Amino acid sequence: MRFASVRSPSGGFAVRLDGSVAVRLPFSDVGAMLAAGAEVAGGREVGVDEEIPAAGLDLAPVVPDPPRIFCVGLNYRAHILEMKRELPQYPTLFAKFAAALVGSGDEITLPRDSASVDWEAELAVVVGRAGRHLTEAEAVEAIAGYAVVNDVTARDFQNRTPQWLQGKTFEGTCPLGPVLVTPDEVDHARDLEITCEVDGEVVQRARTSDLLFSPAALVSYVSRLLTLRPGDVVCTGTPGGVGAGMDPPRFLQDGCVVRTAIEGIGELVNVCVTETP
């Protein structure tokens, strides 16, 4: 099943997408739907409202206000090895705030204080139920589904200090969506192609089978830190091909079109617009 969070003049609502039809659900967004219970997270039927055309919906971030957004650093084997690093024993974790999120079709805001904004196509894991100290087997059951995210990063700010947060959470920089796809539809994202295109040129292309720490391993790991909540998001790390690694380095400019896609889930299309005073 596929779910989305939709904006409308009369307020937001969640939908279930059935082909070309969107079935309006009695929740303000997908995060509220997940918070309503594990049954929904498992993708079972909930009370339905009206049916509307799926085309042309104004999509919010698929979870607009996640309780937490966890992000993972180096996590694609080929990318780690090409960087001449050893495969890490533990995931590198950092966080992002919900104010950074935008929807598919929204603008990516290029921060006026940064001259090196870069792309990072990633698989996002969305938690469906609360849990603490989960085994990997339990973590699999706690995953509501998968989405696409671009962990757009201000490299200059990221590299100012050893802690990356300031480069990772600029307002309006991080597209998340377009939909939440339940695990059964994508075999828990075991082997999906992930791509990022900038102005039509493919800059990143990898497969999720190359992830060092799997979605379940990451959800299990994070659950040892704190009690997971429905709607928590884990961004699983980006493969090779970021602009900072190019020679010469290449960064996002005003007007750039960023297309971030994962096979079987969908694509985010966002235009970069420089922040105005």
Give the binding site for Mn ion (CB under 5 A): 120, 151, 238
**Cβ atoms within 10 A of the Cβ of 54, count?**
19
CA distance 50 to 190: 34
Closest distance of CB 175 from Mn ion, Å: 13
Q: Looking at the DSSP assignment, which residues form a beta bridge with residue 11?
A: none
Q: Which is nearer to Mn ion, 120 or 197 (CB)?
A: 120
Shortest distance (Å) from residue 8 CB to Mn ion: 31
Are 211 and 239 in contact by the 8 Å Cβ rule? The answer is no
C-alpha span between 24 and 42 (Å, rounded) = 18
Q: Which CB, 109 or 238, lies closer to Mn ion? A: 238
d(CA 20, CA 49): 16
What residues contact residue 134 under an 8 Å CB cut-off, 6+ apart?
142, 219, 220, 223, 228
Token couple for 115: 């001259």
Shorter beta-carbon distance to Mn ion: residue 151 or 156: 151
Which residue's Cβ lies closest to Mn ion?
151
Give least dist CB 45 to Mn ion, A: 35
Contact present, 244 and 230 (Cβ < 8 Å)? no
- C-beta of 131 vs 215, nearer to Mn ion: 215
In the complex, what is the shortest distance from the CB of residue 94 to Mn ion, in angstroms, rounded to a whole number?
A: 8
Closer to Mn ion at the Cβ: 106 or 120? 120
| Residue 120: CB minimum distance to Mn ion, A | 4
Nearest distance in Å: CB 259, Mn ion: 17
Tokens of 209: 């089978």
CB of 235 to Mn ion, least distance (A): 6
Nearer to Mn ion, 120 or 156 (CB): 120
Closest CA to 13 of 202, 21, 22: 22
Which two tokens mark 167?
């480069």
Nearer Cβ to Mn ion (66/131): 66
Choose between 43 and 91: whose C-beta lies nearer to Mn ion.
Answer: 91
C-beta of 153: minimal distance to Mn ion in Å? 7
* 218, 91 Cβ separation under 8 angstroms: yes
